[in-house]
Structure 1
Amino acid sequence: MSGIRSFGAPLSERLPRVEIDRAALAGNWQRLAAHTPGARTGAAVKADGYGLGAAEVARTLHDAGCRDFFVAWAEEGAVLRETLGGPDTRIMVLQGLDSSAAALCRETRLSPVLSTPDDIAVWREAGAAPAPAFIQLETGMNRLGLGETDARAAATLAASGALSVTCVMSHLASADEASEQSREQRTVFERVAGLFPGVPRSLANSAGILLGPEFHYDLTRPGIALYGGTCEALEGLRPVATLTAAILQIRMARCGEAAGYGAAAPLARDTRIATVGLGYADGFLRAGSGAGVAIWPGRSVPTAFLGGRAVPILGRISMDLILLDITDLPADAVRPGDRAEFYGKNVPIEQVAAAAGTIPYELLTGLGPRVARDWR
């Protein structure tokens, strides 16, 4: 289990917990694969499986049929190889090479994604025989990738047998926005990828998959859609992660008092407050604090789900604690020990991210180490 350690004892029921729906994760991958029948469907499992635990994520997706996995660093890939040892499984390293990473890739059968002439040189020097690698092309994002001149040099090496290229890829910058940039990038990709005749191609991330078959090519690389971060994007996708935390105390505060740091939540009525054991140290961002906080004016009131309904977050989120206004719940609806949901099946993670001015990726990958990962 990734996350907090139990030291051999049962984990406290009061710890913050993310419940991970294994069937939903597998089903999301299968739904995306069905949407791209002409392409292999891979999976981005970098950043410890988007914060949920890369080993369990990869095992679940492998059981569902996935055979292509993407990580950021060679060290991540080597750990994943211990989980996925089969010869039919490919693990790609997205962020280039130095000599130690190249040696690790060779040793653990990882395929580096080569994005610079230096990457190519390091990979060629790492062993006598050419070993499989991906080539990444720069098509308009100005992040990582070979420009057309360097791509021509790589294609010459590939044609001579000095470089083994198993796929040519690029990354879409604006696939989740109403932008012409994706089609412009695809045009550049078509032209430059043509330097590598007969080599499979990959362009689509989660949002790119929804742009249409012309973006699917031979291999897709979904990430956030696997984890339920864009459930509205494609029918059949389901939430995977449900973040909950336990009520530690319930108290009554009087009208005219205030709650939390900085007295940021003045109380306009007698208010029942539930104090919950979750905070920004656990990855639930302070920027998701409740309405009435002067430094975030005009933002919608963020909520949690408790006692069968949405309840507002009250005042500032602190390092370890969050206050919930439960005044409108029946008096006997909740008690200490009950768990509030902060995102998941009842509170869409997109809604929570919007309230904090961020994106679901940051909420998932930012889950702290003391949040217990509970695979269901």
Structure 2
Amino acid sequence: MTSASNEPRPAIGEDEAGGLLTIDLAALVANWRTLAAKAGGAETAAVVKADAYGMGIDEAVPALYAAGCRTFFVAHLVEARRTRAAAPDAVIYVLNGLLPGTAAAYPAHDLRPVLGSQEEVEEWAAFCRAGAGRLPAAIHVDTGMNRLGLRAEAALQLAEDAELLGAFTPSLVMSHLVSAEEPEHPINVRQIAAFTHVRERFAGVPASLSNSSGIFLPQAPHFDLVRPGYALYGGNPTPERANPMRPVVQLEARIIQLRWAPDGETVGYNGHWTAQGRRRIATLSVGYADGYLRTASGTNLKSGGEALVAGVRCPFAGRISMDLITLDVSAVPEGAVQRGDKVTLIGNGLTVDEAGKRAGTIGYEMLTDLGERYYRRYLPAGQ
């Protein structure tokens, strides 16, 4: 008997959902093509970890594959299996490396680990020698992040270790940029130089350094393969300039109540927002349980998030709660808004980057936190 926790979640009807998430797969594909053109002759992969940044692996990967993407990066094995089901003959790398004892899962689904430590390299080599054969894997080199990856000096030693490298097939050597969204940051030059030195010692092995923002660096460190993620989904890879990417996500929430708050009364938990004069309040059926961060709350001391209501930008009024957001819609003509209307939280000029900034975070977090209670509508890629 299947346990309740393993049963599929019931489908959410559009009329029943508090929020509507529209995902434009044509925009996703257009962004991949824009990045591929910018990358010149380098192969353009796609990072689809965190359920394709909240867009859905099962929908995003087939659209990107049909457009020509043949290499995908995920963080975990469970994401890799889903990606494999959506792209049967693509190359799939698992960025978080080789957890102890998991080596057999990789050839079972034709997956490639990204090896980021001496221990991982040795475990993968031992697994290959034990009968699996010379399986492919990426080698991750740390050039400044101090997070994952072999130190540069260790990577250089590995390049000379014929016994270890003879046990498996290095299919990619890669590193990760620390501050690619800041083109003038001196660490970019240092990382590019360090990585270039290491990749020269891995003769014949394809190399990859650039993430979304790295593709736009003036040094063009594209090497053989680029790994865009955030920009694919509409985030701005060049924060100090106009966004070259098309928006992919539109998030709308339904108004479930309108009311007047008299002058001097408070709205929301702990009374951090007080009506300055009589104010009209709209309550939305979306909250932090849906992934709209509580840090976007609006108070009398700090502006928070905004929503577009009948074309008018309206500020959040009070604390975001688990299932609800309250807005001050006093600037909207009274006849232009009513119970049941949808308002825009992301989209129509209110970008995911702005929504993240208003919440005191980044657009990445806003996207990847998008919850499962929304009704999801996918606009076709139309290859």
User: Is the CA contact 1:304–1:313 (under 8 Å) kept in the aligned structure 2?
Assistant: yes
User: Is the CA contact 1:250–1:272 (under 8 Å) kept in the aligned structure 2?
Assistant: yes
Q: 1:369 to 1:325 in 2, by over 3 A?
A: same
With 67-76 and 145-154 compared, the bigger mean Cα shift is at: 145-154
- For residues 330 and 152 of structure 2, the distance between their equivalents in structure 1, rounded to whole angstroms, comes to 62
Q: Percent identity?
A: 42
What is the SS of the residue equivalent to 1:290? Answer: coil
- For residues 57 and 131 of structure 1, the distance between their equivalents in structure 2, rounded to whole angstroms, comes to 27
**Which amino acid in structure 2 is aligned with residue 344 of structure 1?**
G
- For residues 186 and 210 of structure 2, the distance between their equivalents in structure 1, rounded to whole angstroms, comes to 15
What is the SS of the residue equivalent to 2:79? Answer: helix
With 229-238 and 213-222 compared, the bigger mean Cα shift is at: 229-238
Please give the residue correspondences for 1:1-376 in structure 2 after superposition, counting only pairs within 5 Å: 7=10, 10-86=13-89, 89-127=90-128, 128=131, 129-157=133-161, 161-177=166-182, 178-212=184-218, 214-230=220-236, 236-292=244-300, 297=301, 299-376=302-379
User: Is the CA contact 2:212–2:237 (under 8 Å) kept in the aligned structure 1?
Assistant: no
- For residues 85 and 359 of structure 2, the distance between their equivalents in structure 1, rounded to whole angstroms, comes to 37
The alpha-carbon deviation at position 311 of structure 1 amounts to 0.9
With 153-162 and 329-338 compared, the bigger mean Cα shift is at: 153-162
**Which amino acid in structure 1 is aligned with residue 270 of structure 2?**
G
With 51-60 and 199-208 compared, the bigger mean Cα shift is at: 51-60
Q: Which runs of 5+ in 2 are unaligned?
A: 1-7
- For residues 47 and 125 of structure 1, the distance between their equivalents in structure 2, rounded to whole angstroms, comes to 30
Q: Which runs of 5+ in 1 are unaligned?
A: none
The alpha-carbon deviation at position 236 of structure 1 amounts to 4.1
With 121-130 and 133-142 compared, the bigger mean Cα shift is at: 121-130
Deviation >6 Å, runs of 4+: none
The alpha-carbon deviation at position 369 of structure 1 amounts to 2.2
The alpha-carbon deviation at position 152 of structure 1 amounts to 3.1
Query: TM-score when scaled to structure 2?
Result: 0.90
- Cα deviations across residues 63-101 of structure 1 (Å, max 9, x unaligned)? 121111000112211221111112xx1100111113543
What is the SS of the residue equivalent to 1:91? Answer: strand
Query: TM-score when scaled to structure 1?
Result: 0.92
- For residues 371 and 198 of structure 1, the distance between their equivalents in structure 2, rounded to whole angstroms, comes to 47
Alignment length (residue pairs): 366
User: Is the CA contact 1:158–1:165 (under 8 Å) kept in the aligned structure 2?
Assistant: no
User: Is the CA contact 2:299–2:317 (under 8 Å) kept in the aligned structure 1?
Assistant: yes
Q: 1:248 to 1:93 in 2, by over 3 A?
A: same
What is the SS of the residue equivalent to 1:272? Answer: strand
What is the SS of the residue equivalent to 1:101? Answer: coil
The alpha-carbon deviation at position 11 of structure 1 amounts to 4.2
What is the SS of the residue equivalent to 1:20? Answer: strand
- For residues 345 and 255 of structure 2, the distance between their equivalents in structure 1, rounded to whole angstroms, comes to 12
The alpha-carbon deviation at position 158 of structure 1 amounts to 5.6
The alpha-carbon deviation at position 151 of structure 1 amounts to 1.5
User: Is the CA contact 2:216–2:237 (under 8 Å) kept in the aligned structure 1?
Assistant: no
Q: 1:158 to 1:70 in 2, by over 3 A?
A: farther
User: Is the CA contact 1:74–1:93 (under 8 Å) kept in the aligned structure 2?
Assistant: yes
User: Is the CA contact 1:291–1:302 (under 8 Å) kept in the aligned structure 2?
Assistant: no
- For residues 304 and 253 of structure 2, the distance between their equivalents in structure 1, rounded to whole angstroms, comes to 19
**Which amino acid in structure 2 is aligned with residue 32 of structure 1?**
L
Q: 1:166 to 1:15 in 2, by over 3 A?
A: same
- For residues 315 and 77 of structure 2, the distance between their equivalents in structure 1, rounded to whole angstroms, comes to 43
- Cα deviations across residues 224-273 of structure 1 (Å, max 9, x unaligned)? 10111117656641111111110001112222222111222111111111
With 39-48 and 189-198 compared, the bigger mean Cα shift is at: 189-198
**Which amino acid in structure 2 is aligned with residue 104 of structure 1?**
A
- Cα deviations across residues 200-222 of structure 1 (Å, max 9, x unaligned)? 11000011111035311110000
